Amino acid sequence: MRIKRIWIMFKARNWEFFRDRASFGWNFLFPFLLVAGFGILFGGKEPTAYKIGVFPQPTNGVAVASLELPDAFKKTRFLQFVGFASQTEAMQKLRHHKVDIVIRTGPPPYHYWINDSAPNGHLVEKIFQASLAGQVDSSLVQRGRIHSAEIRYIDWLFPGILAMNMMFSALWGVGYIVVRYRKNGALRRLKATPLTAFEYLSAQMLSRLFLLMFTLVVVWFGCDLVFHFHVEGSLGNIFLLFFLGSLSLTSMGLVLAARGTSEEFTTGTLNFISWPMMFLSEVWFSLEGAPEWIKHVAQAFPLTHLLTGIRRIMNDGAGLVDVLPEITVLLLMTGTFLGLGASLFSWDR
């Protein structure tokens, strides 16, 4: 029976993974080490990067020299100015700790806002006030504050580490493994059995999904015991989105596994895809203030949509309806990758 053959291949692939102690151990140890390392380095806080949100300004780049702000403030080192079209958009970024302070540009009186739970905002406020000393009457400076729960850097980073681990495991655990099987002739021998290509690929995909989610659950709750992550939304919704992301990433791995017998070429291709995805999908840092074309390129990666949805649920308390655009994109990418993988798959070339 078809189900029985899929089940046999599913078990065989899982046992092969569990017997490889180095690979099995690294899937758990690697994310633990990353979370622990960043937790120690940053002490659970945002890294010291000072981003100044200014409005109304174009979002595709800010000409600092043209800003109607004190010259002393504009010339201060280590300040990055990020433009927003409206106050609403700027306030949202300030509330989510994407910028440290928001200033309305223009002639005095100057209006600025800080987030009470963001320590960087108070430091930038002091810099801004110092740049006004002796130039602008204090009555022409108006200060505003917003109140929101603090989002620690480790809370923002943790989903990125899990998603990155999932990405590498999906692409290498499917794409590289199947190419290796094709090279050593294992696929050619399977071709002589009643097993169909659909059954084989289904077993590979189900096995990888099981391993990804199993690893995710163990690492999540293991790290939570140490760092006590704050989750605003539903944990069930988070795991559902992680499942959809693993489905999309695994199907991408099937496309890479469809053809080829060169392990070296496959390694290069996997690196060419995975490393840009890791750096442009906001695994480590926000792309706020980056050139618009980089943000557009990042939208081509499933990891970007996965992390956007996860962080909105975890840090902002969003529901499934709120992350429906991310879910739709992940499902569309999954369908596209599965179609390509199935149509291109070959047992021996």
pLDDT in tens, 225-271: 888 888 888 889 999 999 999 999 998 888 888 877 667 677 777 87
Angle at which helix 324-344 crosses helix 302-316, to 10 degrees, equals: 150
Q: Is the pLDDT of residue 38 over 60?
A: no
pLDDT in tens, 9-18: 788 878 877 7
Mean of pLDDT values over 126-134: 80
Considering only residues 317 and 37, tell me which one the structure prediction assigns the higher pLDDT: 317
Distance between CA 299 and CA 285 in Å, rounded? 16
pLDDT averaged over every residue in the chain = 80
Residue ranges of domains in the chain: 2-42+152-344, 50-146
pLDDT in tens, 152-168: 777 888 888 899 988 88
Q: Return the pLDDT at 178.
A: 83
Q: Return the pLDDT at 134.
A: 64
Q: Return the pLDDT at 330.
A: 94
Mean of pLDDT values over 297-305: 90
Q: Return the pLDDT at 87.
A: 84
Greatest mean pLDDT among 187-201, 274-288, 331-345 lies in 331-345
pLDDT in tens, 88-108: 888 878 877 778 889 988 887
∠ CA 281-283-285, nearest 5°, is 95
Confidence category of residue 49, pLDDT binned at 50, 70, 90: low
Q: What is the pTM of this model?
A: 0.70
Distance between CA 116 and CA 149 in Å, rounded? 9
Considering only residues 35 and 66, tell me which one the structure prediction assigns the higher pLDDT: 66
Q: Is the pLDDT of residue 22 over 90?
A: no
